[in-house]
A and B are shown apart, each in its own frame.
Chain A
Amino acid sequence: MLELPVYLDYAATTPVDPRVVAKMLPYLEQHFGNPASRSHRIGWVAEEAVVEARAEVAALVGCEPREIVWTSGATESDNLAIKGAAQFYQDRGRHLVTVTTEHKAVLDSMRALERQGFEVTYLSPDANGLLDPDRFAAALRPDTVLASVMLVNNEIGVVQDIATLGALCRERGVLFHVDAAQATGKVAIDLSTLPVDLMAFSAHKTYGPKGIGALYVRRQPRVRLEAQMHGGGHERGMRSGTLATHQIAGMGEAFRLARLEMADDSARIAALHQRLKNGLMALDEVHLNGDAVQRVPHNLNLSFAFVEGESLMMAIKDIAVSSGSACTSASLEPSYVLRALGLPDELAHSSIRFSLGRFTTEAEVDFAIRELASQVGRLRELSPLWDMHQQGVDLASVEWATH
Chain B
Amino acid sequence: MSVSSETQPHDEKSVLELELDHNREAPSLARAAIAGFSENRDLDAATLATLTLLVSEVVTNAVIHPDVEPPGAIRLAARIAQGRIRVEVTDEGSGFTPQPRDPARSDRGYGLFLLEHQASAWGVERQSGNTVWFELSV
Does chain A bind chain B? no
Interface residues of A, Cβ cutoff 8 Å to B:
none
